[in-house]
């Protein structure tokens, strides 16, 4: 899980993207939007869910 505590650690280190094979918490998604951090959950194989991202994120 991507928790809000984990997201705060990522933000302090200036990391713009966090990826997990499991789901983020709703609080971490809200926090990611405020901090402009991309949160990717359920990243398995060629599929993933993007819960928040930079406007300029390209695939």
Closest by CA to 10, choosing from 35, 44, 41, is 35
Q: What is the pLDDT of residues 14-44, one digit of tens each?
A: 999 999 999 999 999 999 999 999 999 999 9
36 phi/psi in degrees, rounded to 5: 55, 45
Q: Which tokens hold the place of 39?
A: 């949160």
pTM for this structure?
A: 0.82
Number of residues assigned to the chain: 59
Q: How confident is the model at residue 11 (pLDDT cuts 50, 70, 90)?
A: very high
């Amino acid at each position: 899980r991507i928790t809000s505590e984990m997201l705060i650690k990522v933000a302090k280190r200036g990391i713009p993207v966090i990826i997990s094979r499991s789901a983020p918490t709703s609080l971490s998604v809200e926090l990611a939007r405020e901090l402009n951090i991309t949160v990717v959950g359920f990243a398995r194989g060629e599929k993933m869910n993007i819960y928040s991202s930079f406007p300029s994120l390209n695939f």
